Amino acid sequence: HDIFLSSPFNNRLSIKEIMEEINIYESVFKHTLTGNIAISDTNNILVDYPIVGYETITLIFDNPTIEDSVPIEKEFRVYNISQYTPVGEQVAGYVINFVSVETITNSQTKISQSYMGKNISNIVQTIYEDYVDSDKPLVVEETRNIHDVIIPNWSPFHSMNWLSSRGISETYNGANYFFFETLEGFNFVSLEGLIDEVRTDKDLYPEGVKMHYTYKMKNVSEKPGQINPEAFRSASEYKVDRTFNVLQNLSLGMYGSKLITHDIVRRSYKEYDFDYKE
């Protein structure tokens, strides 16, 4: 519907008419939303407005394929101008890059604190409430096991990303947690939980099998405004990282090895023999 550029030095400015392309990215591998806007500038707003990195971008948009769609309004922070290209004497093309506002505040915040006798999900919830300056909701999937954790002068997002690598789901067997943002808010959830949200065929697989994937192109035979369940089971690309190497495995003790442990307190030692075949 519209795109507004706001600056502490000037009034709010609509750049909808000079916008050529806009992209917003969600990813489980990124802490926050990112995006960019391709601009065809005929009024030299880059210099006259000016755009210096203190600005915010407000986007108002919806999905035209969904009836009665409620417009989404999101605010982002400008952090960079790239691909500046003069086009003639009075036109310049460039890309405005932006991120969620929380990215800026996160880089300015550090945590030095201990969290004792808590599970990972509770620690993440506490860090978010105490250190992330945001009114966006946080969805947390419960983890199991109690931990003693010391955060050594890390940013909130780095801390929660580190905790995600140690979280074990209370519901599922995996240890595949991600901390990321979507248009709805922040999430600290497991990969298994994300898959289960879109599955309609849970009863088709034997116990222990999460999903069968098929090698084919995505987004084929999908109707506008509808999501094809098969799209979540399509693998558009795959590769074999490596196959077995007996010589390497032998040197690493994969097939047979002995571990000797020494307990200096009890002044004792134990031997553990490992046999791959058994």
pLDDT digits (tens, 9 = 90+) for 118-171: 999 999 999 999 999 889 999 999 999 999 999 999 999 999 999 999 999 988
Evaluate whether 237 touches 256 at the Cβ level (below 8 Å).
Answer: no
Residue 129: the pLDDT is 93
pLDDT reading at 254 higher than 80: yes
Query: What would you report as the CA-atom Rg of the chain, rounded to the nearest whole angstrom?
Result: 25
Residue 222: the pLDDT is 59
pTM of the model: 0.73
Residue 202: the pLDDT is 67
pLDDT reading at 221 higher than 80: no
Residue 217: the pLDDT is 72
Beta strands in 42-143 (DSSP E): 56-61, 72-87, 91-100, 111-118, 138-140
pLDDT confidence bin for 185, thresholds 50/70/90: very high
Angle at 115 between CA 113 and CA 121, to 5 degrees: 120
Kindly state the tokens that stand for 230.
């098969």
